Homo-oligomer: A and B are copies of this chain.
């Protein structure tokens, strides 16, 4: 197995990426890597982390980087040799089984769409985010790849998300809920009402509509929504978590008594912050691409990079994409297969 790693992606690249790669080399000794980046910069860190000359690393030069501040389409058009494009090309030619980038999500979605394309029968790939809840974690799909989705897209997300929860999160029979604005099936918008009727026919453990306030407590394993709603939900949670930390700091430093109290209970706040950390998960898979693609957080630490590589490896080992194609076919939710070639709208 060979995994293409974008050495230049994320806020702490290439140092954090290469430090993460060093952990991966020792923890998953059988994988090979195509390390894609500015070879001059990369070399320094390969030496630093003691993995220069490791025969499992194949260095691939890439002349540019899609910056986080750039628009995805502009960056991809202007930078034909960006690390993301080079990784996607390796995935396309099967020189890599998987790619890992802590870089630009939009550029990765766009590059894989154009170069790698979707799995047979899949209309649109979707991004799977992992979020904490009162029991452990739940998955959110689509977290932002497709701002406009069809009912078929949501049905395909449900199948892909369920399989991912089974194989990577080891849930025997994951529950799948449809994000909506009320529990009954008649509640929702036009999209969710149509999707509801597709989801209830699928061979998955569909538990119906779920609401945004209950998903943090209820124990639903996979929450399905379009990419616009998913992105607003995910970013809203990130923003509120940051703001809660801001408020806590403000309120805990108002007087000496509170400061002393906060110091005594300090470790609780460290643990609270860790709840929201993306390190353990490492990255969000873009499922439905004809190849495994894991997108890490822009602020990825070495541990996050190492865990993104772990997930990429597991997805390849489990044959996740073959299982997705099989289940899409078995359930009849194949893009373009509806009467007259028109998908369920």
Q: Which residues of A contact B (CB under 8 A)?
A: 71, 106, 132-134, 144, 147-148, 179, 181-182, 184, 186, 188-190, 192, 211-217, 225-229, 231-244, 246-248, 251-252, 254, 257-258, 260-269, 271-272, 275
Across the interface, name the chain B residue whose C-beta is closest to A267.
B258
Query: Can you give 16 A-B contacts (C-beta < 8 A)?
Result: A134-B243, A181-B232, A181-B235, A188-B228, A211-B239, A213-B235, A213-B238, A214-B239, A216-B239, A237-B237, A240-B240, A247-B272, A251-B268, A254-B268, A257-B264, A257-B265
Given A212-B233, A212-B235: A268 touches B240 (CB 8 Å cut-off): no
Interface pair B251/A258, CB less than 8 Å apart: no
Residues of B contacting A211 in the complex (Cβ-Cβ under 8 angstroms): 235, 239
Given A229-B228, A235-B211, A264-B264: A242 touches B258 (CB 8 Å cut-off): no
Interface pair A243/B216, CB less than 8 Å apart: yes
Q: For the complex formed, measure the closest distance between the CB of A217 and the CB atoms of chain B, giving whole angstroms.
A: 6
Interface pair B212/A181, CB less than 8 Å apart: no
Across the interface, name the chain B residue whose C-beta is closest to A237.
B240
Residues of B contacting A267 in the complex (Cβ-Cβ under 8 angstroms): 251, 258
Copies in the complex: 2
Question: How far apart sit A236 and B240, CA to CA, in the bound complex (Å)?
Answer: 10
Q: For the complex formed, measure the closest distance between the CB of A1 and the CB atoms of chain B, giving whole angstroms.
A: 33
Question: How far apart sit A313 and B10, CA to CA, in the bound complex (Å)?
Answer: 52
Interface pair A147/B213, CB less than 8 Å apart: no
Residues of B contacting A216 in the complex (Cβ-Cβ under 8 angstroms): 239-240, 242-243
Q: For the complex formed, measure the closest distance between the CB of A238 and the CB atoms of chain B, giving whole angstroms.
A: 5
Most chain B C-beta atoms within 10 Å of own C-beta, residue among A144, A242, A262, A268: A268
Question: How far apart sit A134 and B211, CA to CA, in the bound complex (Å)?
Answer: 26
Across the interface, name the chain B residue whose C-beta is closest to A245.
B244
Known: A181-B228, A252-B265, A257-B265. 17 other contacts (CB 8 A): A71-B184, A133-B243, A147-B181, A181-B227, A181-B232, A213-B235, A213-B236, A213-B242, A216-B242, A216-B243, A217-B239, A228-B229, A247-B275, A252-B268, A257-B264, A260-B265, A262-B265
Residues of B contacting A265 in the complex (Cβ-Cβ under 8 angstroms): 252, 257-258, 260-262, 265
Question: How far apart sit A235 and B262, CA to CA, in the bound complex (Å)?
Answer: 29
Residues of B contacting A263 in the complex (Cβ-Cβ under 8 angstroms): 261
Q: For the complex formed, measure the closest distance between the CB of A183 and the CB atoms of chain B, giving whole angstroms.
A: 10
Question: How far apart sit A260 and B257, CA to CA, in the bound complex (Å)?
Answer: 11
Question: How far apart sit A248 and B228, CA to CA, in the bound complex (Å)?
Answer: 30
Residues of B contacting A186 in the complex (Cβ-Cβ under 8 angstroms): 71
Given A239-B215, A247-B272, A264-B260: A232 touches B231 (CB 8 Å cut-off): no
Residues of B contacting A266 in the complex (Cβ-Cβ under 8 angstroms): 261
Residues of B contacting A258 in the complex (Cβ-Cβ under 8 angstroms): 264-265, 267-268
Residues of B contacting A239 in the complex (Cβ-Cβ under 8 angstroms): 211-217
CB within 8 A of A232: which of B229, B252, B262? B229
Interface pair B241/A217, CB less than 8 Å apart: no
